[in-house]
Chain A
Amino acid sequence: MGTFRFFRPESLRQLLEFKKKQGRRAHILDGGSNVLVYIKEGSIEGGTLVDVKFLKALKGIGIKDGWAQIGAGEVIADILASPLIRKQARFFTEALEQFANPLVRNMATLAGNIADSSPIGDTIPPLLVLEARVVAASVKGRREIPLDGFFTGPGQNVLKADEVITKIRFPVPSGGRGRFLKLGLRRGTSCSVASVAVWVAVKGKRVAQARIAFGGVAPTPIRARMAERSLAGRQPDGELIEQIARQAQAEVSPITDVRASAEYRRLVTGRLLAKALRGALGMEE
């Protein structure tokens, strides 16, 4: 006990100045749950715990100019309760409803899940297919980072030591449908063995837009660009879906761990993709 300090900035400016001074020794508590577990496990030793819970600058759930904007300090339960998000980003709410359990949803934030940068962060594949962008601020100003490109390895991302996530934004999805499927070893709260998010828009009989993301089968969550290209412009039918599913298995590089073998992860990713695509395309199960 007593190896940490505590700081509660009263404004965004104070937060950013502190982050500039302390760099990675300042641990932002966005929901806090992951950070506290790391402290208990001993993988974070020392530094300052920074409470941003009360910062207005990190709050706000809204839709503006066709973009959904969610403050870094908003918990998942409140995002799910937002009538705007429920109405205009239904796919996203369906995905978030699968996140952990109600207790965790009352505490966890998108920013926290993104900053944690786990290959199995369950908010990430849906945000990837929504082409979300992370707004990061520092004393020098702010920048928008596409989520696809944010992660550099398990637990690693492009955030600089003096940067803080302030907002997550994505264009309000329209003209298409999405699906998020996660596979765990029980129906209750469980780490994803593999997960798949898809967003498809169909024009006439052909796929106008296809976005596919995988979780848990590579060092970071990834967009499956090859599978997307194979799908774009094509007429979706059962055979095509199976072909894409097989192809997708080649885009992933899963590991074997206590939860599953690499081989199962590879094969089941294809199945989850097929299932998600069938669902998003309204095809019969």
Chain B
Amino acid sequence: MVKTELYPLALTVNGRPVSARIAAETTLLDFLRDQGFIEVKRGCDKGDCGACTVIMDGKAILSCITLALQAEGSRILTVKSLGSWERLHPLQQAFVDYEALQCGFCTPGMLLAAKALLDHNPHPTREEIREAISGNLCRCTGYQKIVDAVEAVAKGAYR
């Protein structure tokens, strides 16, 4: 039986250093979930749904079609980097207030795509918000309240 070749990977997730030895074809999604970051969801594993979105070195990307080893040394943010029960991130609070979620499965990815948008473009139009989350599928909400929530944050309602 051929022994699987393993390769070292070290990066930070939500500010914490994480390292492991992994098989070459491990995706970033596989790696993150195996390491316990189960808040990053697997919806399709092919890059079509956006549920696996994380922020890597400031860019929102699809972790299921990113090779984990190519994330060497990177800074990864998952939804858990945003806020806490005592203090939600403005986007999280807005999502709750506007009920911009129902089943919640797309929500971690959706929040990060929205955060990445506001980090680069603090005052987006509704069109720009829709464009920014167009890679994140939601089957429950029809997107209306998601756009409303992001717009509210962009307009300063949660300062």
A–B touching in complex (CB under 8 Å): yes
Residues of chain A touching chain B, judged by Cβ–Cβ distance below 8 Å, are 1-6, 8, 29, 32-33, 36-37, 39-40, 48-49, 51, 53-54, 75, 77, 100-104, 106-107, 188-189
Is the pair B23, A107 in contact by a Cβ cutoff of 8 Å? no
Contact for A188 among B5, B53, B134, CB less than 8 A = B134
Which residue of A has the minimal Cβ distance to B71? A53
Using a CB–CB distance below 8 Å, which chain B residues touch chain A?
2, 4-5, 7, 23-27, 45-48, 50, 53, 59-62, 64-67, 69-70, 72, 113, 116-117, 131-132, 134-136
Which residues on B sit within 8 Å (CB–CB) of A100? 135
Assuming the A-B contacts A32-B65, A33-B65, A49-B25, are A102 and B131 also in contact, with contact meaning beta carbons closer than 8 angstroms in the complex? Answer: yes
Q: Which of B2, B67, B135 contacts A102 (CB 8 A)?
A: B135
Write out the residue numbers on chain A whose beta carbons fall within 8 Å of the beta carbon of B2: 2
Q: Nearest Cβ in chain B — how far from A127, in angstroms?
A: 23
Name B62's contact: one of A4, A40, A53, A103 (CB within 8 Å): A103
Q: Give Cα distance in the complex from A1 to B5, angstroms.
A: 10
Other than A101-B135, A103-B53, give 10 A-B pairs with Cβ distance below 8 A.
Answer: A1-B23, A5-B5, A6-B7, A29-B70, A33-B47, A37-B47, A49-B69, A54-B72, A107-B65, A188-B135
The CA-CA distance from A53 to B134 in the complex, in Å, is 26
Residues from chain B with Cβ under 8 Å of A188 in the complex? 134-135
Bound together, the chains give a CA A40 to CA B45 distance in angstroms of: 8
Q: List 6 A-B contacts (CB under 8 A).
A: A8-B69, A102-B132, A103-B50, A103-B113, A107-B65, A188-B134
